[in-house]
Structure 1
């Protein structure tokens, strides 16, 4: 559907320039996120770092994306004063977009799966947004467009525009930030950058940037169990589809999204959900605070990269993302009864993750359970 265009004249242009100014001022008030070293006795030659995106004002990696999407929509003339902003989201992007919508004085509606955590719903409402929950995750796209049309507003469509709204060359994107923060480390040029894929926009930014800067760094995308991204990476089929959503909130998709660019990815790991949750719990203990489930997915994929380096006798560094804080999941992934009902009870897997990190000997059941591709492919998989 053709995007509506706002007139650039008169009061519309004045509002547009003021809106861009508010977002830029908000960025100027913000500092960069921390890069946390995680020393693992079992991987003496490999340094692991967590880029802590939970320290953004809205608490997640999606704050960067939301800022970029709003600037992109404003500069394309898609937003107007008083117009409603609508987004399809599993929660974190909607929280961040609600923040920027409130900054500009715009109404905001998030179209989300029914199972989205209550903490995320509360965070959206705290920012002044409204939540529209639906049963079928495949309907969030069409329902978002329908609502935007009905309200005379704009459907932000993160899954289409994430990779093109982000300036991957510079402008303090996440890749540039990582390399600048790594500058004085023992291994300043990471061997691997690891990120899970929700829209695919962050992975696209990482992959494009390392090519643009001619860095000797590979990019690994981590995928959830109920997601099509891994299979699309293998076969490039654009019409892959699932009829249920990912159980790891914020990552994995039931269809191939336009922002997922397999050609800039060097390797992939498809992580069983129970191992993502197990790694989430173990990492929370290691860093002394709760992290979200997609960060657990990232840790498992980082383990695959580190194990390959160890086996090849390669020393170096791996950087992955701490996507959001675990407080958003107090009633789900941090609730033992909820995990039991969801089939994600993970005490044995957590013990195996802990042993893998401490001893650099990956649990056989983990290696048997995940799938790897690209430069991380294991013979027989």
Structure 2
């Protein structure tokens, strides 16, 4: 098909099956990095803007203001550019530099929050307060407030519709990152409408407070709720069967393992979701067809997650994670082990 606007490219992302050692199991990745903004947040960005237009909260030539660690901002920047809106992204030092560069390239205005924050400390509260204030000061502006915006989870109905078609409706478990809770709550809601027995797993970084654990700083970007912030109103605990945590080292080393053994670059938080899904699958706590969303791509984290020096300086390298991944997801490289095939290629 030939489309006439970029937002029409959102959705219809493919599935990739990865090998797993668990018997009678399928492990599928929904490659959300294939959305035009490089993440699944494109879905909810479009949903929130369209809802604001329908409700009369956003008029022609208006201004969109949002607090973002990057991916939501990129999605909103795409929709704003396409529809002729001004977009201001309120960000902090925790956002990946490449994400900030993409937003700028798309015409977004960046507003950095003030304050003295540690490198692994997310300034979500200050971002939210700044975005809300700016929206009241600028005529015709609206604060999207993704954490409390019901149009956020509604944006993932299409994700589930696509997934059910791609799998012939055969999904036994879904595992995804938990930030605002929009994607997880929306996907879990619509999956359970299809089959209430589908197990849904929400994964947050160790240090996040979503599932009741003590808060402390963490390096995973765009996921979790840091200490001092409040869990968003859109997070629906009723549709989440399991809430669990994953460490930064497990998340980042899984992303690197996937890259070096499959050729797929994924973001660090997606690495955490994959590590958790494989852990639950191989322990027998879930079974059958397990789906994990690749929330965004590793191209945005080349200077952090995929930089050995950066990881080493923060004590985030772990050979144990690589060994575990090799057991859970053994990868056969024919051109590395079969001399005849090697000669054919040569």
TM superposition score normalised by structure 1: 0.77
Residue 36 of structure 1 contacts residue 49 of structure 1 at CA under 8 Å; is this kept in 2?
A: yes
Within the alignment, does 1:129 sit opposite 2:108 as a pair?
yes
Whole-angstrom distance in 1 between the partners of 2:108 and 2:198: 39
Match of 2:47 among 51, 57, 68: 68
Q: Indicate if the aligned counterparts of 1:189 and 1:215 stay in contact, CA closer than 8 A.
A: no
Q: CA 1:118–1:52 in structure 2 vs 1: closer, same or farther (change >3 Å)?
A: same
Q: Report the alpha carbon displacement of residue 347 of structure 1 after superposing the two structures with TM.
A: 3.4
Match of 2:254 among 275, 279, 282: 279
Using the alignment, how far apart are the partners of 2:77 and 2:6 within structure 1? Answer: 14
1:148 is the counterpart of 2:135: yes
Between the aligned partners of 1:231 and 1:121, the Cα distance in structure 2 is 31
- Residues 95 and 123 of structure 1 are in contact (CA less than 8 Å); yes or no, is this contact kept in structure 2? yes
- The one-character-per-residue Cα deviations of 1:195-229 (angstroms, maximum 9, x if unpaired) are 11111011111221133223431111111112111
Whether the 8 Å CA contact 1:189–1:217 is kept in 2: the answer is no
Partner of 2:266: 291
Deviation for aligned residue 1:165: 4.2
Go from structure 1 to structure 2 and tell me whether the alpha carbon gap of 1:334 and 1:25 turns closer, same or farther (over 3 Å shift).
closer
Structure 2 unaligned spans of 5+: 116-122, 332-346
Residues of 1 paired with 2:255 and 2:9: CA distance? 31
Select the residue among 1, 4, 13 that pairs with 1:33. Answer: 13
1:258 Cα deviation after fit: 1.1
Residue 193 of structure 1 is matched in structure 2 by: 174
Please state whether the residue corresponding to 1:286 is helix, strand or coil: helix
The reply to whether residue 81 of structure 1 matches residue 60 of structure 2 is yes
Cα RMSD over matched residues?
Answer: 2.4
Paired residue secondary structure (2:26): strand
Instruction: Note the C-alpha offset of 1:30.
Output: 5.0
Residues 235-246 of structure 1 aligned to structure 2 (within 5 Å): 242=215, 244=217, 246=218
Which of 228, 231, 245 in structure 2 is aligned with 1:270? 245
Q: Residue in 2 aligned with 1:350?
A: 322
The equivalent residue for 2:193 is: 212
SS of equivalent residue, structure 2 residue 188: helix
Hey, what does 1:113 align to over in structure 2? 92
User: Aligned equivalents of 1:230 and 1:70: distance in 2?
Assistant: 29
* d(CA) in 2 for partners of 1:143, 1:70: 20
Partner of 2:291: 319
Distance 1:204 1:220 in 2: 10
Give the conservation status (yes or no) of the 8 Å contact 1:339–1:345.
Answer: yes
Structure 1, unaligned stretches of length 5 or more?
1-22, 233-239, 360-381
Aligned residue runs from structure 1 range 86-97, under 5 A: 86-97=65-76
Report matched runs for 1:222-261 at 5 Å.
222-231=203-212, 242=215, 244=217, 246-254=218-226, 255-261=230-236
Alpha-carbon shift at residue 190 of structure 1 (Å): 1.7
| Alignment-derived partner of residue 157 in structure 1 | 145
Q: Distance in 2 between matches of 1:257 and 1:33?
A: 27
In structure 2, the residue matched to 1:5 is none
Contact 1:196/1:203 (CA < 8 Å) preserved in 2? yes
| Secondary structure, aligned partner of 1:358 | coil
CA separation in 2, counterparts of 1:140 and 1:356? 39
